[in-house]
């Protein structure tokens, strides 16, 4: 077992200067599928596969850990749109079951697929802006990389 260094850190002006990261701007850029830092390079190389790095500024995207959060957020967003709409239609109009299934299921499927990539991009932008999961230039000592 290794002993951690107990030497005090000396803070200087240079160690305190860090790149300012606007959370909303980074999330908007990620939502559009662009690099959260520069907004120029592509964030995705496939539908849900992030690129290894930005082609414009060179930001490394490999540390991101979006995992299942984008899927959960899409379920919440689409559910809050579809469920009230279905309840309103079913209470105010009488529709046959086959028409209901023919309309609601495809809309839910298409809306979920349409939102999945933009929401994942926004989550990656949020992680970059908050310096989460390896997006920090100077990670604290003693914490192994994920």
pLDDT digits (tens, 9 = 90+) for 64-78: 888 899 999 999 999
How far is it, in rounded angstroms, from Cα 34 to Cα 37? 9
How far is it, in rounded angstroms, from Cα 77 to Cα 27? 16
Between 69-92 and 97-129, two packed helices, what is the crossing angle to 10 degrees? Answer: 150
Strand partners, 34: 42
Say yes or no to pLDDT of 123 above 90.
Answer: yes
3-state secondary structure (DSSP) of residue 42: strand
How far is it, in rounded angstroms, from Cα 6 to Cα 45? 43
- Give the model's pLDDT for residue 146: 47
Phi, psi of 44 (to 5 degrees): -115, 140
Task: Compute how many other C-beta atoms are within 10 angstroms of the C-beta atom of residue 50.
Answer: 18
**pLDDT tens across 39-65, in order?**
999 999 999 999 999 999 988 998 888
Say yes or no to pLDDT of 2 above 60.
Answer: no
- Give the model's pLDDT for residue 135: 79
Rounded to two decimals, the pTM is: 0.79
């Amino acid at each position: 077992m290794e002993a951690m260094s107990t030497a005090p850190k000396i803070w200087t002006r240079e160690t305190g200067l860090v790149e300012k990261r606007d959370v909303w701007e980074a999330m908007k850029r990620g939502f559009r599928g662009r690099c959260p830092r520069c907004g120029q390079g592509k964030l995705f190389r496939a539908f849900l596969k992030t690129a290894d790095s930005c082609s414009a500024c060179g930001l490394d995207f490999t540390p991101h850990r979006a995992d299942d959060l984008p899927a959960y957020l899409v379920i919440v967003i689409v559910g809050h749109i579809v469920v009230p709409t279905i309840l309103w239609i079913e209470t105010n109009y009488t529709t046959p079951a086959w028409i209901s299934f023919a309309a609601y299921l495809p809309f839910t499927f298409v809306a979920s697929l349409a939102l999945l990539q933009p929401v994942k991009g926004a989550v990656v932008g949020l992680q970059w802006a908050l310096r989460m999961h390896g997006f920090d230039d100077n990670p604290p000592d003693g914490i192994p990389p994920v």
